[in-house]
């Protein structure tokens, strides 16, 4: 059995995912180092020179030389080696992601069958957003008693009748009139019933029970998706070797 990128054929998808991050970091580090060295002309340059005096009595000087420290072709080979591991690990993961599937099951019911890993990751993100959305749904005022009104498709309260009043001025005689003094009268206002208000409140909010049910469903589905992803990531993978082909084409002389 042939092994690739130090990961054998019996590896599982979650192991490949765990390896990929480190391989990617190492490849990026080596690629950056190679780019850094290739930008230094002094490392790419060398020289060798010897000195011969004009005559035998002339001053003797030692030879001088500087070796080439970086070979561009060598940098290409090192870069290809580093990237080959990355290309192979990523290909193995992506190929496996296309094949690794699992059912999303809630309380024995298969909600979505044979879901591939990328879509499970998508579902996780969407369900996180939906959970936040449901948590902020408006809830009916618990101080009122609500019933669903089919004619308006809204919730409503029982009619409440209240009195409408109007202030009517009244005179209060504090002292009767006499021959020498006028009557002392104080004006006050009295609330006099003039009609009745019948009030029915309507609301487009939701009962707390309904919101709690929705939250429970979202949370159960979130758990089911996570379990499905773990199951799918436990699938065995087939090693893919594409790095040699890609980089061999790019850097072959």
At 134, phi and psi to the nearest 5?
-65, -40
Mean pLDDT of 224-229: 95
- As beta bridge partners, residue 225 has none
Token pair, residue 170, equals 């009244």
> How do 109-116 and 160-175 pair as beta strands?
unpaired
Write out pLDDT tens, residues 45-104.
Answer: 888 988 888 888 888 889 888 888 878 888 888 888 889 989 999 999 999 988 899 999
- As beta bridge partners, residue 170 has 188
Write out pLDDT tens, residues 122-152.
Answer: 999 999 999 999 999 999 999 999 999 999 9
3-class SS at 23?
A: helix
Question: By percentage, how much of the chain surpasses pLDDT 90?
Answer: 51
At residue 133, the pLDDT reads 97
Q: Share the mean pLDDT of the chain.
A: 88
> In the chain, which residue ranges form alpha helices assigned H by DSSP?
13-38, 41-44, 72-99, 117-135, 208-233, 243-251
What's the predicted TM-score (pTM) here?
A: 0.67
- Kindly write down the DSSP assignment for every residue of 108-138, as one continuous string: TEEEEEEEEHHHHHHHHHHHHHHHHHHHT--
Q: Is the pLDDT of residue 197 over 50?
A: yes
Beta carbons within 10 angstroms of residue 15's beta carbon: 17
- Residues shown for the chain: 253
Owner of token pair 């060598």: 74
Split at pLDDT 50, 70, 90, the class of 4 is very low
């Amino acid at each position: 059995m042939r092994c690739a990128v130090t990961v054998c054929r019996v590896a599982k998808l979650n192991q490949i995912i765990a390896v990929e991050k480190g391989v990617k970091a190492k490849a990026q580090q080596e690629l950056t180092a190679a780019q850094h060295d290739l930008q230094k002309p002094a490392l790419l340059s060398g020289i060798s020179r010897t000195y011969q005096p004009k005559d035998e009595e002339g001053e003797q000087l030692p030879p001088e030389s500087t070796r080439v420290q970086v070979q561009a072709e060598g940098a290409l080979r090192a870069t290809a080696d580093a990237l080959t591991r990355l290309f192979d690990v990523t290909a193995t993961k992506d190929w496996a992601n296309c094949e690794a599937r699992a059912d999303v099951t809630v309380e024995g019911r298969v909600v979505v069958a044979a879901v591939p890993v990328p879509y499970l990751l998508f579902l996780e993100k969407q369900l996180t957003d939906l959970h936040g959305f449901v948590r902020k749904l408006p809830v009916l005022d618990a101080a009122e008693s609500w019933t669903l009104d089919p004619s308006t498709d809204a919730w409503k309260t029982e009619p409440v009748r209240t009195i409408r009043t109007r202030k009517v001025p009244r005179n209060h005689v504090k002292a009767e009139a006499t021959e020498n003094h006028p009557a002392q009268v104080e004006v006050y206002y009295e609330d006099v019933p003039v009609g009745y208000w019948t009030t029915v409140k309507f609301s487009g909010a939701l009962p707390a029970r309904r919101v709690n049910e929705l939250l429970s469903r979202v949370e159960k589905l979130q758990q089911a998706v996570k379990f499905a992803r773990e199951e799918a990531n436990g699938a065995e993978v087939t090693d893919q070797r594409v790095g040699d082909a890609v980089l061999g084409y790019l850097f072959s002389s």
